[in-house]
Amino acid sequence: MALYPLLRPLMFAFDSEAAHWLTIRALSVMPRSSLPEFPPELASEVAGLRFPSPVGLAAGFDKDAEVPDAMLGLGFGFVEVGTLTPRPQTGNPKPRLFRLALDRAVINRLGFNNGGQAAVLERLGKRERRGLVGVNIGANKDSADRIADYAAGLRTMSPVADYLTINISSPNTPGLRDLQASGELNELLAAVREARSGAIPIFLKVAPDLEAGDHQRIVRAAIDHDIDALIVANTTVSRPLLLSHHTEEAGGLSGRPMKTLALEQLRAFRAETGGELPLIAVGGIESSDDAWARIVAGANLIQLYSALVYEGPGLAKRIGKGLAQRLRDSGFASLSQAVGSAA
C-alpha cells in the first residue's frame, strides 16, 4: 500500500479501463488473507446486519464479484458488487471511462457492463460466506419491462447476498433515472417488496441530481415499501468547475468535485428521515475527515471507489483508523453515538 505512489504513474500509463482490468486481475491472484480486526468502536448495526467498520466499497469496482474477499482483506468493512443485470451486457462503446487527474475525479459511461446474474450467482455460491457482501442489481438496457428485471434480480441474487441494492440512479442507461419519479418509484418498490424473500435487507441507491420535493417523496416511498436504507448518492451529470481535460465527456462524474453536492444531498435526506431510515453516504469521500463529515451529518455507513484510483488500496484502512481516532477525540464510545450528531 505504501508503494502505491510509486506504482501510480505506471497504472496511469494505461487507459482507465485497461488499468482497472489489470487491478482486478492482480487482486484475483492475491493469496487469500484473513479478515482484518477493526477497533470495536467502529462496529454498528444497520438493517439487522453487524458492520465491523463503516467503510465500504461502492458498487462499480468489482462488477462481477471477482475479488470481494481480496477487498475485504484490504480493510473494507463491507463490499458491494455489481451492478448486475439479469442478462449479460457489454455496456456502452469504448472509450467510456476517463480519469480527470487534476480534479481527482472520474467520468464513466460504462452502462452496466457485466457478465449477468447467473455467472455471479455461481461464483458467489462457491465462496465461503465471510465478511459482508452486498449485491447491486439493475435492469438490462434493452429490457421490455425494467421493473420485472429488478424483481427477477432480487429473487435470483438473494441466496448469495447479505443485502441487495436497487440501483435506479445510474445516468448511463437511458431512462433508468425515470424510475425515481413518483408513480414509477412506487410501482417498482411494490414489485420489489412482493419479490422479497425472507428478511434480506434491501437498500435503494438514489441520484444526487434531485429537485425540491424529491427527497421527501423518495423517503416516503422507501418507508412505505419497507426499504431498509438509502445510498446517497450515485454519480452526477452536473459539471462543477473542472480543471482537467475530458470534462466534455458524457457520463457520471465521481470523485472530489462531487464532495459538496453529495454532502448536501445527505443532509437533505437526513432532514427528511430524522434518523428513521439509515443512510449510506458515497461520493467524493477520500479521507477520514470526509468520512467523519458524512457520519456526523447523518450517515450510518460510507462507501468509496473513485478515491482508490488516486489514493491506492490502503485507503480503507487509513480511513478506518482515522475514524476510530476521531471517535476517541470527540468522546464518543461508539460510531452510532456520532451518527447525525451535527445534524
Q: What is the pLDDT of residues 133-177, one digit of tens each?
A: 999 999 999 999 999 999 999 999 999 999 999 999 888 788 888
Task: Identify the band that residue 179 occupies on the pLDDT scale cut at 50, 70 and 90.
Answer: confident
Residue range 111-130, pLDDT digits in tens:
999 999 999 999 999 999 89
Copy the grid coordinates of residue 286. 477520500
Amino acid letter, 153: G
Can you give the pLDDT at residue 149? 97
Residue range 51-72, pLDDT digits in tens:
999 999 999 999 999 999 999 9
For 82-100, what is the mean pLDDT? 96
Can you give the pLDDT at residue 139? 96
pLDDT value at 107 more than 90: yes
- Distance in angstroms between the alpha carbons of the first and the last residue of the chain: 35
DSSP class of residue 100 equals E
For 259-275, what is the mean pLDDT? 96
The whole-angstrom separation of Cα 171 and Cα 252 is 6
More confident residue, 27 or 9: 27
Task: Identify the band that residue 199 occupies on the pLDDT scale cut at 50, 70 and 90.
Answer: confident
Q: Which helix (H) or strand (E) holds 183?
A: helix 182-195
The whole-angstrom separation of Cα 73 and Cα 248 is 37
Determine the CATH number of domain 4-338.
3.20.20.70
Q: Is 330 an annotated catalytic residue?
A: no
The whole-angstrom separation of Cα 156 and Cα 161 is 10
Residue range 285-334, pLDDT digits in tens:
999 999 999 999 999 999 999 999 999 989 999 999 999 999 999 999 99
Extents of the domains making up the chain: 4-338
CA dihedral (171, 177, 178, 182) in degrees, to 10, reads -160
pLDDT value at 1 more than 60: no
Selected catalytic residue, list 44, 170, 254, 306:
170
Task: Identify the band that residue 2 occupies on the pLDDT scale cut at 50, 70 and 90.
Answer: low
Residue 281 near residue 266, CB atoms below 8 Å: yes
Can you give the pLDDT at residue 114? 98
Copy the grid coordinates of residue 228. 431498509
